[in-house]
Chains A and B, each alone.
Chain A
């Protein structure tokens, strides 16, 4: 079993829909990243969370440390949101910054 599990693996939505991508992890962590990877490969870090909730534009990320679960929400989805979304956890602190990655969720938003 992977340390980081994402669901769903694939998600197709219509433009304007509310999207939720889930990430569960099995170890104690000190932080969690949500990453976005568009076709062609580039990776962008959307959020880093250690507790609570963060919002940036139409993107919202939440984390529940006790339940070992995080969600990424996209409101009013748009075709340009089509990408792979990857959850990555940091289970060590201090100067050792070793991320463990989920397999990613492929999101396709149709116009």
Chain B
């Protein structure tokens, strides 16, 4: 167990639906990152939060949104789902941006049918 908890582990849904992925960072970590891993694109950075505030955005679609709550857990919301959104979504956390230790969760596997 890495200390970063992601739920659900697996999710199967239909096109057009909306899902929420949840991440609880390692205790003491204030930074949370979301990444998408698909077969054709590999790993891609989506978005970064630090202590509740958005700090950086990557290739995140407008249909996707995220937030980090006061208890530091984060949620990634994916809406109007398309087949191409099927991927592994990873959350990672750090004590602060640039800290030595970057810890990944086990990932949430999303399948859109």
Taking beta carbons and an 8 Å cutoff, which residues of A are in contact with B?
30-31, 33, 35, 41-45, 48, 86, 88, 90, 92-104
Contacts and interface: CB of A to CB of B under 8 A. Distances in A.
A98 B92 CA distance: 12
Given A31-B98, A94-B97, A97-B98, A45 B43 contact: no
15 contacts: A33-B102, A42-B2, A44-B104, A94-B97, A96-B48, A96-B55, A96-B97, A97-B33, A97-B55, A98-B58, A99-B33, A101-B42, A101-B43, A101-B44, A103-B42
A98 B102 CA distance: 12
Given A86-B43, A95-B97, A45 B50 contact: no
B106 interface: yes
A44 B45 CA distance: 16
Given A94-B97, A98-B56, A45 B45 contact: no
A93 B44 CA distance: 18
B26 to A, nearest CB: 12
Interface of B: 2, 31, 33, 35, 42-45, 48, 50, 55-56, 58, 88, 90, 92, 94, 96-98, 100-104, 106-107, 109
Given A88-B43, A97-B55, A42 B48 contact: no
A92 B97 CA distance: 11
Contacts of A103: 42
Given A95-B50, A95-B97, A98-B48, 8 more contacts: A41-B107, A42-B2, A42-B107, A44-B2, A48-B101, A98-B58, A101-B43, A104-B42
